[in-house]
Structure 1
Amino acid sequence: MNRANHLASRSPLHDFLAPRSVAVVGASQDPTKRGYKAMVGLVKQGFRGAIYPINPKAEQVMGAKAYASLGELPGPADLALICTPATTVPGLIRECGAAGVKGAVILASGFGETGEAGAALEAELLAVAREAGVRLIGPNTSGVFNLHHNLNLLALDNVKPGGVGIVSQSGNMLLSLALEAQHNGRVGFSTYVGPGNQTDIGFADYLRYLGEDAHTQVATLYVEGFQDGRHFLEVAREVTAAKPVVVYKSGATEAGQRSASSHTGALAGSYAMTVDLLRQAGVSVVQYSDEILPVAEGLELLQKARGKRVAVLADGGGQATIAADRLAEAGLTLATLAETTRARLAEILFPQASLANPVDVAGSSDADPLVLARCMEILAEDAGVDSVFLVGMFGGYSIRFADSLLGDEMRGAESMIELARRVDKPLVVYSLYAPIKPPALRRLHEAGLPVYYSIEHAVRALAALGERGAYLAADHARPEALARLPDPEAAFARARAEGRDLLEPEAKALLAEHGIRVPEERLVRDAAELAEVAAHFGTRSLAMKVVSKDILHKSDAGGVRLDLVGEAALVEAHDAILASCRAYAPEAEIEGVLVTPMAAKGVEVIIGVSRDPIFGPVLMFGLGGIFVEILEDVAFRAIPLSRHDARSMVAQIKAKKLFEGVRGGAAIDQAALVELLLRISQLVEAYPEIQELDLNPVIAYASGYAVVDARVIVARDGADASTDSTTRTEENLA
């Protein structure tokens, strides 16, 4: 089945994540057993469907008739919870298939996570499940709940239905989020799944389900590792177009960290790469675990901002400054207030108030908290403001100053609620009184305005809202595919037949054939050709490099000479390069030397591609030359790229001020770099034979660029990317 059709069809997970009947295999009366806790969760939560305890030694469990086996059930169960040891599970899955069970939650550990024997048992389990037609959650999972269907197989207390769906590889992280939500008082959950070993169902499948689930307003994932990251990105693009997705990725992707022969390969597989690719798909990535719920709440309630321009309203200068600092660090900007806005503020604030952004009311609200609501309205009506951030002690004026101010604070809260209904802009509140939940803040929270306990959490939510708004407003259309051409096809065929990578002249010819500008150069196979080459280039300063399939790092082998002028200099450099390279690698096959004019000075960047085992082909862009592995100031995007992707890569570089010209230097041609990034993306799509590609350095100029060095590493037969890194999920859903 075509993958596009997968994404368009309804997820089969609805059949058992919103079940009408549940069988608990291993149901127990013993409070220490998971089979007991699952029954408690179903009964206590008031599950409305049929509950079938499976226990051959009991007539009933918690008032429900017990059955000796799945085969004795009066009807098929949509979902089975298996609470028995690992060795019993394959046989039980066969029974599930025979009994018409659609999905099974497997709690037991003792599978692939334990070693070779466990991996063999897990492989057997998957084979049995496929034959039986039963989908697997886990094994080694913490469980499942669907609170809108009163399904709580974790027997987790004090969780209420709501709009936050969770998939977490850590059961303790779920518990942490549940306790935090209980303290928050407003946040509720829709579905939770612990994916466990992802033997059958993976993150992409769960995300697709949450994307389709009407009760889920924001999907939230705690991820330790993806198994099919490329498929996850495809699903994420579809889901984020409709609803927010929040991901906390713990650590680096170990499966993607591998030695490679190129700069790009060495830098790929990192945590930074994973974050870039998730954000490319519209995912809101949080850096710290305590940001997960605050960001999810903000996105659930407010969905998006139109841009990243924030107006800060404060009743104290210190917190206004802190807010401004955090906003800048998060990539947001302080909105420039219109003169009419400043004039309107001046009419209601004390003369000493600061009317610039941040707006500091300077005591104007001490005796009249309603002033803050009026200021919020004025700021929200400014066309140059995308979000309004109230910072300070709103909600605590009656505590700090006088009980008589409580009425004004409540009226102020109602005014803010009405404003939020009228304007299409996020209104976010941080109050130092939030921990004690005074009446005005409780009213805001009840009405759906997020109230935060820390400036940092509020800013992270504002950043996520701004990023989502920018993502939704961007054009994500991708350029048309490039056609394969005969000469490059022949070059790849020769390289594969000879068990080598493309030689530098072949790599540059590939680029030139597809409209990428490369410098003029001559391949010299014999010293006798140097006189003609010298005459051709005249007095231009030249570079000479060895060409050999066996010498990848030319400089290390002494295979590069620069600033050569005239025939004598070329001859001397030629002899020195050959002598040095033969000493470095005596068995190396040397094709000759490449002679090309020295590139003019400019800004050195790197463009590279690596085929990540988890995410497939990934393009990297950053500062080039010797700095690429020292500074690692790079950006990653999954191929294929849209024009928005290419532009955002250039904008992401921390040292991008170099691109804008420093100390009187001219700004570089960023538009040309964007076109180059797009063309490389198209090239890699057209030629799956490209395993890795390095253009390092590319020298960017005020007009155009120069590709100084090009390396293309060829995938060996059967190892190219004409197929995805893993197709297990697609096969399972077919």
Structure 2
Amino acid sequence: MQATPQSLERKSPLHDFLAPNSIAIVGASSDPTKRGYKAMVGLIKDGFKGAIYPINPKADMILGARAYPSLEAIPYGVDLALICTPANTVPGLIELCGKKGIKGAVILASGFKEIGGEGVKLEQQVLDAARAGNVRIIGPNTSGMFNLHQKVNLLALANVKPGNIGFISQSGNMLLSLVLEAEHNGHVGFSTYVGPGNQTDIGFNDYLRYLGEEPNTKVATLYVEGFRDGQRFLNVAREVTARKPVVVYKSGSTEQGKKAASSHTGALAGSYGMTVDLLRQVGVSVVQDSDEILPVAEGLGLMQFARGKRIAVISDGGGQATIASDRLSEAGLEIPELSAATQAKLREVLFPQASVVNPVDVAGSTDANPALLADCMAIAAGDPNIDAVFLVGMFGGYSIRFAEDLLGGEMRGAEAMIELAKHTEKPLVVYSLYAPVKPPALRRLHEEGVPVYPSIEHAVRALAALGERGIYLAGLDAQATGPAIEEDAEMQAMFGRAQNEGRDLFEYEAKSLLRTHGVDVAPEAIVSNPAELGEVAARMGDRPLVMKVVSKDILHKSDAGGVKLNLQGEAALREAFDQIMTSCRAYDPNADIRGVLVTPMARKGTEIIIGVVRDPIFGPVLMFGLGGIFVEILEDVAFRSIPVSREDARSMIDQIKGRKILEGVRGEPPVDKEALVDLLLKVSGIVSAYPQLSELDLNPVIAYPDGYAVVDARIITNRSVASN
């Protein structure tokens, strides 16, 4: 079992009020239907040891606590205010919080920016008051918060077990779902919960930093509809994931989901695929299905990581071993061959008919002695080719299915598994079909932190997350970004000219930028006078040439007849020049045509696309994929936040589904992946060096066994950023 990670150095101001010693309930009530009543009940029932100050001008006492007519009437200091009153009262109350020196406020009311119009103005008033008074606010439009280890339960939820999972969720119903699931599971518990609501002040990055530092939290878990500042979140996540696991479920994976998220919280939901890639880049475990959140969080919280993805499967049933093998393979996990020594040890304890290859099928060997399963797990855990052990079958149910006197053997097996978990760094994961009935042996495993899942799929997802995290941690030393690129004065001037003319870079200018910073770009010539074509033809040699129109007004050159291919010799160039000019002037009589670009045609190879966009949420993002149908229809692309490391660049190439094409198919040689890695690093560096670059599109780039060719390059300028 892995050691508990140390908490991060305390940097977050949220500790001051998410673990409060005194709480004011503004809108406290004796009416059981009101949130001000339920919050009081939650604090009292859970045994909150701090001071509770109900605020209600019409009451002297509420639930045995002295009530005050207003915040300013409280004669003592207050750490946190829970505001249960309507939206229109909130700006004034936040102003009073500031005057009182209250550090944080939880605003339950809705009716702010999520409804638009006047709600937007009202929310701005709340934020202005908070900043003026140095008050941090949770919400508005929040479900509330709890800190179970501090006995702070402002949601008044019953039967919520304290534990090591911190949860931040933009949906209160998602919290209820996980709480009920945890109650049924009987083992998983929570540390802190916050509903961020509209994130008017405190965003996901702030909450994540807090959970990363909070000592009772071993895994930070988030349900996200939209990030307010994705770039800052990635920076914080990179820090936190180096110390403890972070699990994210990102909703809005469809257009319909994005619309629902926007109407619910007013959040801007970005591209789902891009968001997932960027989160994984910084070590976040992303779950695809909502019912995976708790199983994955539990596995990571208990075991932290596995050193790799090599799994030993121990099974007492062939069918479930097959299912487990299918799910493991689909999840990208490996089922390697066990060493000869491991197989020999297994043969010593199992019946002759047992299969000791991986997966191991005990074939009835454990029917009379279920404790033998623990011996098999220990043997497998000792194999150097194995990173985690997965027990699949009916452990815990032998005494139910066969004979009651097998209970002792199952309990001995459970104790042996617990001891093994304490002395091995390799995670032990159990799937039992008897998990729903909670027999004694499985309850014992739960009590000692050995995860037991009622679903093969959930167990596999936890194993995958453990392996992914282990590989990420092992590669942290290789995460240094590529060397910085120094901006070039001539290139800065080029950007300035384009910005002054209100245009994007011409293709030849984009290629000049690439060439200046070490990208391999073919020679080219800009021709405005056909008399120059003879000299160009002689300089380019015998290679077939391509000619393209140069015009800021003609973006789709082929549609305008502005591209000619396979040109050789001066005569062919002159004829092509005339045809391009005639076609383009007919296409747009007012187009500003600067001439034509002449460059050698690229030889055949594998088309890829490299792009950059400055995303409004995450900042500059790099994209890589195969060209043609793969990007247009299949959307088989990978994203990474800029700047990228060499490992990031390699992982982009390996991530796409069409990577086998790059590795060579049907007798074709593999492409030069390291050349593509270098190209991605250079593009990342260029984008970092030139903020005037808004978007970049290299499409296509032709990949070869010995390099690449940038066939077309387009760079869109950011007119709002001045050149130096």
Choose 592-601 or 231-240, whichever is displaced more.
592-601
Structure 1: gaps spanning 5 or more residues: 1-6, 259-267, 723-734
RMSD of equivalent CA atoms: 1.8
Shift of 1:572: 2.4
**Alignment of 1:96 onto 2:89:** no
CA distance in 2, matches of 1:543, 1:626: 23
CA contact (8 A) 1:286 1:292 kept: yes
Shift of 1:331: 1.4
* Structure-2 change in CA distance of 1:213 and 1:127 (3 Å): same
Q: Which amino acid aligns with 1:476?
A: Q
CA contact (8 A) 1:255 1:269 kept: no
CA distance in 2, matches of 1:594, 1:110: 57
Match of 1:484 among 480, 487, 494: 487
CA distance in 2, matches of 1:336, 1:679: 41
Q: Structure 1, residues 579-615: CA drift from partner, whole Å, max 9, x if none?
A: 2222333322111111111111111111110000000
1:572 aligned partner: 575
Runs of 4+ with >4 A deviation: 252-258
**Alignment of 1:387 onto 2:388:** yes
**Alignment of 1:646 onto 2:673:** no
Q: Which amino acid aligns with 1:540?
A: R
CA distance in 2, matches of 1:249, 1:431: 29
Shift of 1:269: 4.1
Q: Which amino acid aligns with 2:605?
A: G
* Structure-2 change in CA distance of 1:625 and 1:590 (3 Å): farther
CA distance in 1, matches of 2:28, 2:594: 73
CA contact (8 A) 2:251 2:257 kept: no
Equivalence map 1:361-380=2 (5 Å): 361-380=362-381
2:336 aligned partner: 335
Shift of 1:717: 2.3
Shift of 1:573: 2.1
Shift of 1:38: 0.6
CA distance in 2, matches of 1:319, 1:253: 33
2:265 aligned partner: none
Q: Structure 1, residues 374-404: CA drift from partner, whole Å, max 9, x if none?
A: 1111110010101111111111111111112
Choose 92-101 or 462-471, whichever is displaced more.
92-101
CA distance in 2, matches of 1:613, 1:636: 15
1:24 aligned partner: 25
**Alignment of 1:280 onto 2:284:** no
**Alignment of 1:191 onto 2:195:** no
CA distance in 2, matches of 1:309, 1:427: 13
Q: Which amino acid aligns with 1:54?
A: I
SS of 2:498 mapped into structure 1: helix
2:586 aligned partner: 583
Q: Structure 1, residues 644-695: CA drift from partner, whole Å, max 9, x if none?
A: 1111111101111111111111111111111111111111111111100011
Structure 2: gaps spanning 5 or more residues: 1-7, 260-268
2:357 aligned partner: 356
CA distance in 1, matches of 2:496, 2:57: 65
CA distance in 1, matches of 2:481, 2:467: 23
Equivalence map 1:26-425=2 (5 Å): 26-252=27-253, 269-425=270-426
CA contact (8 A) 1:253 1:270 kept: no
Choose 355-364 or 458-467, whichever is displaced more.
355-364
CA distance in 2, matches of 1:603, 1:437: 55
**Alignment of 1:521 onto 2:524:** yes
TM-score, reference length from structure 1: 0.94
1:726 aligned partner: none
Shift of 1:154: 0.4
**Alignment of 1:535 onto 2:538:** yes
SS of 2:436 mapped into structure 1: helix
Shift of 1:8: 6.9
Shift of 1:624: 1.6
Q: Which amino acid aligns with 1:645?
A: D
CA contact (8 A) 2:496 2:722 kept: no
Choose 84-93 or 583-592, whichever is displaced more.
583-592
Q: Which amino acid aligns with 1:109?
A: S
CA contact (8 A) 1:93 1:134 kept: yes
TM-score, reference length from structure 2: 0.95
Match of 1:600 among 594, 600, 603: 603
SS of 2:383 mapped into structure 1: coil
Shift of 1:230: 0.4
Q: Which amino acid aligns with 2:75?
A: P
CA distance in 2, matches of 1:269, 1:27: 39
SS of 2:48 mapped into structure 1: coil
SS of 2:643 mapped into structure 1: coil
CA distance in 2, matches of 1:257, 1:669: 39
Shift of 1:358: 1.4
CA contact (8 A) 2:507 2:713 kept: yes
Shift of 1:347: 2.1
Choose 374-383 or 19-28, whichever is displaced more.
374-383
Shift of 1:88: 0.6
* Structure-2 change in CA distance of 1:576 and 1:257 (3 Å): farther
CA distance in 1, matches of 2:372, 2:12: 50
Shift of 1:9: 6.1
CA contact (8 A) 1:308 1:467 kept: yes
Shift of 1:60: 0.6
CA distance in 2, matches of 1:254, 1:73: 49
**Alignment of 1:622 onto 2:638:** no
Shift of 1:476: 1.3
1:730 aligned partner: none
Equivalence map 1:501-520=2 (5 Å): 501-520=504-523
Q: Which amino acid aligns with 2:494?
A: A
SS of 2:57 mapped into structure 1: coil
CA distance in 2, matches of 1:601, 1:419: 57
Equivalence map 1:716-731=2 (5 Å): 716-718=719-721
Choose 336-345 or 378-387, whichever is displaced more.
336-345
Shift of 1:488: 0.8
* Structure-2 change in CA distance of 1:630 and 1:581 (3 Å): farther
CA contact (8 A) 1:379 1:388 kept: yes
CA contact (8 A) 1:605 1:696 kept: yes
SS of 1:631 mapped into structure 2: coil
Q: Which amino acid aligns with 2:62?
A: V
CA distance in 1, matches of 2:585, 2:270: 34
Choose 631-640 or 582-591, whichever is displaced more.
582-591
1:725 aligned partner: none
Q: Which amino acid aligns with 1:514?
A: H
Q: Structure 1, residues 689-711: CA drift from partner, whole Å, max 9, x if none?
A: 11000111111111111111111
* Structure-2 change in CA distance of 1:255 and 1:394 (3 Å): closer
